[in-house]
Amino acid sequence: MGCPLGVPKYPAGPVIHFELSQALGKVSDVPDPDALIRASGLTKRFGQFTAVDGIDFELRRGEAFGFLGPNGAGKSSTMRMIGCVSPPTGGELTILGLNPVTQGAAIRARLGVVPQEDTLDVELTVRENLLVYGRYFGLSRQVIAERTARLLEFVQLSERANDHVEPLSGGMKRRLTIARSLINEPEILILDEPTTGLDPQARHVVWDRLFRLKQQGVTLILTTHYMDEAEQLCDRLVVMDGGKIAAEGSPRELIDTYSSREVLELRFSTFEHDQAAEKLTAVPADRIEVLADRVLLYVDDGDAAMAGVRGLALEPLTSLVRRSTLEDVFLRLTGRRLEDG
């Protein structure tokens, strides 16, 4: 069969592998029963290019787990492997206790997927999109009709039920895609950049719906390159860059571990910028980050640091004291900003 994952340790369902592990006396290898997804050394190559480079993670039931990373980090490649539409090139991946290479259809039946680019059926109406998609899962028309009413209500599209998809706004299409992904009442909902390209208001509507899903106990796995989205939605996340996982933890843990309490952001006129940056090394700070247009001082007390800056007779054009964010964590870990890609 040429399983690219190597020989999976437990390709069987839970009952069989339990018996097997006892027979082999390998009880310690019995996986964490709460882990819905387990990946170790997971790798995806396209020809010579390695898009996902040996990542490890576990997804626990009921949590919202995020992949934060810039363009090309390998987020979508990872989501596609989890969605069983892209066979891994190496490592191990277990989803709901099953092997995605040999049991893809059985896994997909229990997943909801919101792909990075909408794949709504533009030849059908809003309601028909849910109906047809539900039929792909083999659901009866009656079950789908019941769920459709509820789901359209949930994503605030009831009034548009009989409209075609094409004229819907970007935010509406995204919400419809989310409704569609829920038609099979999935155990895991995979969202690849759920709000990219939406205006701020539309993003907040989507966040609100995802937050409600989370409260209803749906397990979410999502990717984003917005740090605010990650902070808002994720209980736990990994920072991904260049196909690798750079750090893992809750947003709070990551900020505490990789950044200071506060950040002092200074902006100088262009010709003063480099000179000022040089002088600022005299101010006591955990770290100084010199960006093209700003200087960031990572400190415990931003106001005290600002006093120190004034003491050096430096006059920034603007100054701002703020709390550390995941953006700072990312900068620290990769030396680049998220938007830089």
Partner 1 sequence: MSEQPISRQTLPEQTLPARAMSGRALRQLPLRILPAPLLLARRGSLGGRGSAHLIERHARAYRHTWLVLASGFVEPLFYLLSIGVGLGELVGRVKFGGQPVGFTSFVAPALLATSAMNGAIFDSTFNIFFRLKYAKLYDAVLATPMKAGDVALGEISWALIRGGLYACAFMVVMLAMGLVHSAWAVLAIPVALLIGFAFAGAGMAATTFIRSWQDFEYVTLTTLPMFLFSTTFYPLSVYPRPIQLVVDCTPLYQGIALLRGLSLGVVGPGLLWHVLYLAVMGTAGLAVASRRIRKLLLR
Ligand X SMILES: Nc1ncnc2c1ncn2[C@@H]1O[C@H](COP(=O)(O)OP(=O)(O)OP(=O)(O)O)[C@@H](O)[C@H]1O
- 104 is a site residue for partner 1 (CB under 8 A): yes
Size of the site for Mg ion (CB under 5 A): 3
Q: Is 73 in the site for ligand X (CB under 6 A)?
A: yes
Complete DSSP assignment for 146-158:
HHHHHHHHHTT-G
Helix, strand and coil content of the chain, in percent to the nearest 5, comes to 40, 25, 35
110 or 287: CB nearest partner 1: 110
In the beta sheet, which residues pair with residue 290? 295
| Contact with partner 1 (CB under 8 A) among 46, 71, 140, 208 | 46
- Minimum gap (Å) between residue 172 Cβ and partner 1: 17
Q: Which of 69, 97, 134, 251 binds ligand X (CB under 6 A)?
A: 69
CB 101 → partner 1: shortest distance, Å?
Answer: 6
CA–CA separation, 261 vs 302, rounded Å?
A: 9
Binding piece for Mg ion, criterion CB under 5 A, among 89-97, 114-122, 276-284, 316-324: 114-122
Which C-beta is closer to ligand X: that of 230 or that of 309?
230
> DSSP secondary structure string, 185-212?
--SEEEEESTTTT--HHHHHHHHHHHHH
Q: Binding of Mg ion at residue 116 (CB under 5 A)?
A: yes
Nearer to ligand X, 93 or 314 (CB): 93
Ranges of H-type helices in the chain: 14-24, 75-82, 104-108, 126-136, 141-154, 170-181, 200-215, 227-233, 251-258, 273-280, 302-311, 326-334
Establish if 225 lies at the interface with ligand X (CB under 6 A): yes
Q: Is 241 in the site for ligand X (CB under 6 A)?
A: no
Identify which of 113, 285, 243, 81 has the alpha carbon closest to the alpha carbon of residue 184: 113
- Give me the residues that bind ligand X (CB under 6 A), please: 46, 49, 51, 69, 71-77, 116, 225
